[in-house]
Structure 1
Amino acid sequence: MKELLPVGCVIMASGLSQRFGSNKLLAPFCGEPMLCRAFAATDTPKLSARIVVTRSDEVAQLCHSRNVPVLLHDLPGRNDTVRLGLSALLEQVPELFGCMFLPGDQPLLCRETVEAMAGISGWDQRTRLERQKETEREIFRLGFRVRNDPSPLTGSPVLFEKGLFQELLTLPQGMGGSVLLRKYPAHVHTVYIADRNELADADTPEALAQLEALARQKL
C-alpha cells in the first residue's frame, strides 16, 4: 500500500452570501445545514488535517457542535482566508505536502472525489523520487469534460503542492489562489469527474433547491 504524503484541506466559509440573501452555508439541505455536506466530503483519513475558515459566529458554532476544527476571523479579503487556513494547517502538520481549498457551497461534492484529489497529489515517496523533474509546485483542479467540447468545465476544489505555499501565504489583497493558476498554467492539471453537478455551487435559493432535488434522487 502506498504511503500518502500529508495533504490538508481548508474549507472556505468566509463569503458574504450576497446573492443568496442570507448565510447559505446554514441553509437547510436534505435535513441539515448545507455546510455539513462539506464536513462529510472531507471526513476521510486521506486528509491529514482540515479546518473551516469563517467570519460567521453561527458557522463557527456549527463547526464546534460537529467537532470540526474552525478558525473565526474578521478580515475582509479572500487572501486572508487562504493565508489563515494554510497557516493553521501548517502549525498542525509542518510537513504538509499539499493543501486543498474547498468551497463550503458545493453540496454534491463527494468524499470519493476529495480522496481522489488527495491521492493524486500525495504520491508515495518512492514514486516522487523517480520523477525526472521534481518541482513540488503542481496544481490540481476539479473538472468535467463535456462531450465534443475541447474546453472542459473547471472549478473547485483546487489543491496546491508545498512549493507554492509561500505564494499562497502572500497573495495580493482580495485575491485568491486563482492568481497562481493564471501565473503557472503549465503546472495546472485537471482531475476529471463523471458528474458535473459536483462542481455546482448554491449561489441562490433556486440553485440550492435544484441541487437538493438532485441529491434526494440519489437517496
Structure 2
Amino acid sequence: MASGLSRRFGSNKLLTEFCGQPMLCRAFAATDTQVLAARIVVTRSAEVKALCEEHGVPVLLHSLPGRNDTVRLGLTALLEQMPGLFGCMFLPGDQPLLCRETVEAMIGISGWDHETRLERQKETEREIFRLGHRFKNDPDPLVGSPVLFERGYFSELCALPEGKGGNVLLKKYPEHVHTVYIADRNELADADTPEALAKLEALARRNG
C-alpha cells in the first residue's frame, strides 16, 4: 500500500533515502519471497510507479481518494491474475524494519491453521491474521500491519465504506482475528515523520 499523502512527513516518505536506497525498497525486499503468489504496489505517485518499474515490481497507478479505493484496486488486480487466491496480505510501504522472515511466518501460520484448527471453517476461509508484539507482563499487545485476510473476506474488502481500510473488518469480526507475535517491536514501527525515520535508520544501521 503506497497511496498515502505523507502529510505529517512533508514529502513522499516512500522515496526518502533509508540506508542508501528509497524506503519503499525495504518493502520490496520484505515481500521478495516465493511463498507469495503475487504482489502489487498501489500508488497515486508517478515517482513511486517509476521506482517500482525500475525494480521490476508490479504497480498500479491511480488517482482515487480513499483507502477503500486502494484496497479494492489492489485486490481486484490480483484476483484478475489469480482468481484462486487463498488470501491477501496488506502491507504498508513505510515499515522499513519489517523482515521477509516475518512475512513468510504470517503466511505459513495461516496455511497451517487452515489444515488444522480451522478445519471446521474450511468452506468459508474467514480468518484474519495481524502482526503484533507482546511486552512482558503487559496484557495488551502492540498490534499493527501487515494484515492477512483469507478469501472469505474478499467481497467485503472490495466494498469497504468510503475512506476506510481493512481495519473495519477487524472490528466487525474480532472473533476471527489472530495475532502473530514477533520479538522485535520495531518491525511494527512506521516512519510517519522525518524524526521517526531517522530513529529507525539508526536502529537498522546498528543491527547491521
TM-score range, shorter chain: over 0.9
Q: Which residue is equivalent to 1:54? A: 43
- Cα distance in 2 for partners of 1:104, 1:189 equals 22
Q: Which residue is equivalent to 1:28? A: 17
Q: 1:130 to 1:160 in 2, by over 3 A?
A: closer
Alignment of 1:41-190 (within 5 A): 41-123=30-112, 127=115, 131-134=119-122, 135-190=124-179
Deviation at 1:181, TM superposition (A): 0.2
**Offset from partner CA, 1:100-138 (integer Å, 9 cap, x none):** 00000000000000001111122397x259823433110
Give the % identical residues. Answer: 77
Structure 1, gaps ≥5 residues long: 1-11
Quick one: which amino acid aligns to residue 172 of structure 2?
A: K
RMSD, matched Cα? 1.4
TM-score (norm 1): 0.92
Q: 1:199 to 1:129 in 2, by over 3 A?
A: closer
- Cα distance in 1 for partners of 2:121, 2:152 equals 13
- Cα distance in 2 for partners of 1:119, 1:46 equals 8
Q: 1:27 to 1:92 in 2, by over 3 A?
A: same
Structure 2, gaps ≥5 residues long: none
- Cα distance in 2 for partners of 1:203, 1:190 equals 23
SS at match of 2:204: helix
**Offset from partner CA, 1:44-103 (integer Å, 9 cap, x none):** 000000000000000000000000000000000000000000001111111001000000
TM-score (norm 2): 0.97
SS at match of 1:122: helix
Report the number of matched residues: 207
TM superposition outliers: structure 1 runs of 4+ over 2 Å = 122-125, 127-130, 132-135
Quick one: which amino acid aligns to residue 85 of structure 1?
A: G
Quick one: which amino acid aligns to residue 204 of structure 2?
A: A
